[in-house]
Structure 1
Amino acid sequence: MSVQQQIQALREELNQHNYNYYVLDNPTISDFEFDTKLKQLQDLEAQYPEFFDENSPTQRVGGAITKNFETIPHEFRMYSLDNSYSKEDLLDWENRCQKILGDVPLEFTCELKYDGASISILYENGKLKRAVTRGDGFQGDDVTNNVKTIKSVPIQLKGDFPTKFEIRGEIILPFAGFEKMNQELIEIGETPYSNPRNTASGSLKLQDSAEVAKRPLDCLLYTLVGNNLPIQTHYEGLEKARTFGFKVPMQSKLAKNIQEVFEFIDYWDKNRHNLPYETDGVVVKVNQIQYQEELGYTAKSPRWAIAYKFKAEQVSTILESISYQVGRTGAITPVANLQPVQLAGTIVKRASLHNADQIAKLDIRVGDTVFVEKGGEIIPKIIGVSLDHRSHNSVPTKYIDTCPECQTALVRTEGEAQHYCPNFYGCPPQIIGRIQHFITRKAMDIDGLGGETVALLFNNGLVQNYADLYELKKEQIIPLERMAEKSAENLINGIEKSKQIPFERVLYALGIRYVGETVAKKLAKHYENVDAISKASMMELILVDEIGEKIAQSVVQFFENPINQEIIGRLKSVGLQFEINKKNSTLVSSKLGGKTFVVSGVFQTFSRDDLKKAIEDNGGKVGSSISSKTDFVVAGDNMGPAKLDKANQLKIPIITEFDFSKMIQNE
C-alpha cells in the first residue's frame, strides 16, 4: 500500500469511528485506540505535506484564526417560523393550508424545536464546503473553520448524496457539556455561562477554532435544501440525510393527520425534560414537498411550517420601577425594572409592559409582586400581579404625559395603543435610532459603524441625521473615545462603500414608518426612482400591489416634509443610489409587462423558482394566489385542486410551461 493510500485509508477509518461515536452513539474502538490512529495520521500528513486535505479528520482540532467573519449571502433564504401557542392555532394553520391546496390529504412531519444557533452547511461532491450562520436570513457569517471542529458534522459524506446541496440545523450545547464547562469555570474562579443556547451561539464566533474544538458542541440537522433534490417528502429527506452521515434526531415523526400531531406534542410536552439538550417546542411541517411549493412563503415565513411553543416557564418577582424608552419612530415603550430572577436559563432584570392600556388592564404598580414569563420563551413579559402581596399604601401607575428624553408632550392617535413623542427631528433617541436603522445590514450595511458609534458621533455633535455621515472626516473621528486611526479609516471607507447599495435598500434605510424591506422593494420596482415616489399621490400609492392606506399615508407625509426633502437632496448629491440600476437589472424583455401569473404544480423543463424568475425577467409579475387580477395560471403536473377550481371559476387561462416558453420566445 502506498503512503497516499495509507493516509486515505486512515482518514476513512477515523471518519467512520467519528460517525459511530458522535452520531450513532455506538463507539467500536476505545478513545486510546482512536487517539493512536489519529496521531499516526498526523505524523504521516506532517511527513508528506503534498497529501494535505483540509477535510482530513486531523483538521478537526482547529487552529485556524479568523479575525473577521466574512458575510456570505444565502443562496436559499433562511426564513423564520410563525409561532403558535395552542392546538386551536394549529387547526387554524391546517385550515389555511387546506384553503390554498384544496381538499387534499395532508401528512405532517413533527420535529422537536431545538434551542441553539441556526446554521446552513453547503456540501459539494460530498465534501463540506462552507458553513454560514443564519444572520438576517438573507446573509450570514462564514464560520466554516469553527463548524469543522464539531465532531458530529461530517466533513466527508457517504452514500448516494446529491452533487451540491445545503443542510440546515442547530448548533447546540448539550446539558452535560454545558455543566462541565461551567464547573471548570467555577473551579478557577471565573463567572459561569448563563445558558447553553447563548454559549453555543457565542462559540461559533470565537476567533480561534482550536478553542471551539475544546467545547462539546453538537449539531442536530433537520432539512435538506437545494435544486432538484431526489426527495418527494420532507420525512424522506430526513431519512436520506441520515444515510449520508448526518446526525438527524430520531425523535422526528411522520403524522398522518393533525390528531397525530397533537399526540406528538402532548408526549414531548411531558417528556422534553428527559432530553440531553434544550427544546422549547415542536416544529410541524407539511410533509409533501409538492404541497410545500404550492403553499410558498409570506414575507417572513414558510406557509407550510409552523412552530408550536410549549407553555412558557413562569416566575414571580418584585417590580422595582418603571422606565420609558423612546424608539426611532417616537413610540414610547414602558419597561419594567425587576428584582433579578432566574427564568428559562437566564437572569431576567427587565420586561416589556407594552403600553398604557396593558398597565391599566393588569393594574401594574411599582412594588407589586408580578408574574413574569418569556413570550415564546424569548422576550420576558409581565402576565399578572399577585394582589395578595400588594402593599396597603400602593398607588396606581400614572402613565407619563411628556417625553422622558426631550420633555415634549406625548400624543396618542385614535385607534393606536402606543403614545408617541412628536418631536421627530429634535428628540435624541429618535435621531440616533433613525441613523442606527440607516446603517444596519439590511439597509446601508456600513462596515466599521455600529450602534454605539452612532450614539458617540451624535453626542459629540458630529451627526444630526444620516446625511451628515457622508460629510465626516477622519480627523473628526480619531479624537473620539475608543477610536484610533485604523478604526476611523475603516468607518470612512465603509461609508464610502455604502454609496453602491441598491435603491430598494436605500429606500428602506430612510426609515419611513411602515415601509419595511418588502414594501421598499415593491415601491422601488414600481416607481423605479425616488422622485416618482415622492410625487405619487396617496391614491396612486394604494394602487401599488400590497400597499395599503396606512403605508400610503406615511409615504406621502414623509416626502411632503421639507426636512426630509433637504436630507434626500444631500444624499443624492453625495452619490447614493436613488433609482433602479438598469445595468444590474435581470430584465430580459417587457413581453409580459402588466401581466400577472400564478405558478402551480410540478414542471419538467423549469424549477418553480426558475419559472418565477423568467416571468419577472420578462416584465411580468408573480402572484401568490389566484384572483380577478390574475392573467394566466402556469400549470404543471399535480396542480393544486383549489387553484384549478378558482381559475376555472374566474375563467382565467391555464397554460402549460411549454405555452409559457413560446410566450417569452415569440417576438
Structure 2
Amino acid sequence: MPEEAKEKREIPQEIIEKVKKLREEIEYHNYRYYVLDSPVISDAEYDALMRELRRLEEMYPELITPDSPTQRIGFKPAEGFKEVPHAEPMLSLDDAMNEEEVIEFDKRIKRFLGLPEETPIEYTVEPKIDGLAVELVYENGSLSIGATRGDGYVGEDVTNNIKTIPTVPLRLRKFTEDAPDIPPRIDVRGEVYMNKDEFKRINEERIRKGELPFANPRNAAAGSLRQLDPSITAKRKLDIFYYGVGKVEGYKFKTQWEILQTLPKWGLKVNPYVKLVKDIKEAINYHHHIERIRDTLPYEIDGVVIKVNDLSLWEKLGTKARSPRYALAYKFQPTQVTTQLLDVVFQVGRTGAITPVAVLKPVQIGGVIVERATLHNEDFIKNLDIRIGDWVLVQRAGEVIPEIVMPIKERRTGQEKEIIFPTHCPICGTKLIKKPEEAIWRCPNKNCYAQAVRKILHFASRNAMNIEGLGEKVARDLVDRGLVQNVADLYYLKWEDFMKLPGFAYKKAKNLYEAIQKSKKTTLGRFIYALGIRHVGEAMAQMLAEKFKSLDKLMNASMSDLLSIPGVGYEVAKSIVEFFKNEENRKMIQRMLDAGVTFVEEEKEEKPKILEGLTFVFTGTLKSMTRDEAKEIVRELGGKTTDSVSKNVDYVVAGDNPGSKYQRALQLGVKIINEEEFLKLIGKAK
C-alpha cells in the first residue's frame, strides 16, 4: 500500500482502544516482572500479549509510538542500585513457537542477504536458560562491573552480588596453550540461574515462613541477584552460563562458535549442550532433542537459542528496535499457566494419606489439557492462603502431576471461599490422624476401601508385580464384591471368580487369571517394591534386595543393619522395620509365598568389551546415572577409569558443573565429551 494511502486510511476506534489496552497491560506486567520480581501471569500469557500487540502494529504502523513496549527491551532499573549503561545494547530475542516460524526466520535472513533459498546458513544452537541476563565487564582481565540487562541500554550495578557466584571468575586467565590473549576490555554476557534443587529448597523455606514462593527458578534467581545485601545472595546457590560478548577491545571474533569455544579457555563456563549446525533443519532437530531431555536437566530451560554463526553477517543483518535479525528464541510449549480453582476434592492414597486435589477450569499446559492439580497438604494450602475461586499459577513439568504453584491474590474479587480440610476420611468416615513430625493427615483404618484399591493398583503396576489387565476399575470391582481384601488374596482367586465382575467374559477372565499366575515368578527387588512400604521406591527396593539377598533376612533386619547401608536414613529404616514387625503384613507375605510366589535372579547378560583399552575420567554431575554407576559401566565394558586427568586419558566425560578436571583436560588437549555423547558411545543413547 502506498505511504499516502496509509496516512489517509481511517483506523477503526476499537483497534485504537485495543492497542492502548494491550500497551497498558504489558507495561503493568513489565513492572511486576522487572521491578518487583513478582509476575502475576505466566510467560506464555505475556508472550501472547506481546505477539498480539506486534501483530496489530504491523497491520497499522501508524499506531507505533516511541514508548510502545514493542519499541523497547525491558523496564527501567529498580531503585537502590546504581545505573550502568551498556557499551553495546543487550537486545532481547524474537521468539518462535513452531517449525514454520523458524523456517520463515531462515528464509527472511536469506532474503535480506540476497541469497538463494537453497543456500545453507550455519547456526549455533544452545539451550535457552530460564534465568536473568547479565553483563560482566573485564578490564585487563579483572572483573570491574557486573550489571543486569535492565532495559537493554541501562542496567543495574550488581557487582558485589555477582562476585558471590562461584562460577564468576574475579580474574580471567588463559587455561589452555591455544587460548588467545585476554583482551584489554571484554564485556561478557551470560545467564544467571538457579538449579531446580536449590529453587525447591528456597521455596520450601519461604512457605514455612508464611511467605509466597517464587513462581519459577528465573524469578528466584532475579530476586536473589537483586538483593541489596550481598550476604543474602551468597546464601543462595546461583550459577551462570556464558553465551556471548558485547564490546571487545583488542581482539576480533569471527564467529559465534569461536566465542563459545574461547570463553571456557579463559575460565568462563559455557553450556555443554551448545552445538554448531550446518543449516536450519539441523537447528530444528536440535530443538526437538533438547525438548525431549529438558526434564533431566538440573536447571530450567524454556527453549533453544538459534544464532547465525558468521559474525560478519550480524553486521549486515543488523537489528530492529528491540531485537537482532540474526538470532531467534525457539520456545518450548509452556509448562506454567494461570487458570481458576473451581473446587477441591480429597483423595485417599494406599498409605492412608489424604491429598487435596484442585479442580481447575480446563487449561492447556505443554500440549495437554489439565483439569486437576495437586495441592500437596493442609499446611501448603494455609501457608499460601489458597482459596476456592482463586486464579492460580499451575505448572506441569515432564510426567509430574500438575501442581498449584501459588495464588494470584491481586485478581481476587472477594467471592473466594476458604478451603476446609476434612476431619474424617472422605471414604470410610474414620477420624483422621496426623503425627507431630508430619504435614500429612492420614486415615488410620487399614480396611479403608480407598486404601485397599490403591494398594492393589500399586502391587499390580508395571514396575512392581506387572499384572497386565488389573486396572483401577477391576481393583474396585474386586474390593466391592469382597473377593480381595489385601493383595495376597489375588493369588487365591480362580478364573471363575473373575466371571463375576462386570464386563468379564471367559477370555478376559482367563487372561487376567494367567497374568496373576505369571506374576508369581518375580525378582526380590520387584516384590519389595510391590509391598508398598512407605519411603521405599524402586531404587531403594533394588538396593535392599542386593544387600540382603533374601526376603527372610530383610524381614528380620534391625535398625542398625539398615542404617549401615549408604542412602538409607533413619525414617526409611524405621518404616521398613515397622512394616515387617506388623503381624498382619507378615501373614500377608507368608500367604503369598504359600501360594507359590518365588524369586528369581535378575538376568545379567555378558556385555561386549567395546571400551577395551580406553581410559575415562568423569567430572561434574550426570543426569541419567551417578558417576559411580558410570564408572561401573565402563569397567563392565572393558574400559578403565581414573580420577586424575593426564595425557594417558582417552575421554573426559563432562556433566553439569564440571570442575577443575575439565580445565585440565582443555590444557592437555584431552578429548572432552558430554553425557549424551558418552551414552552414544556405550550404546545407550535415546
TM-score by length of 2: 0.44
TM-score by length of 1: 0.46
In our comparison, the structure showing a higher alpha carbon Rg is: 2
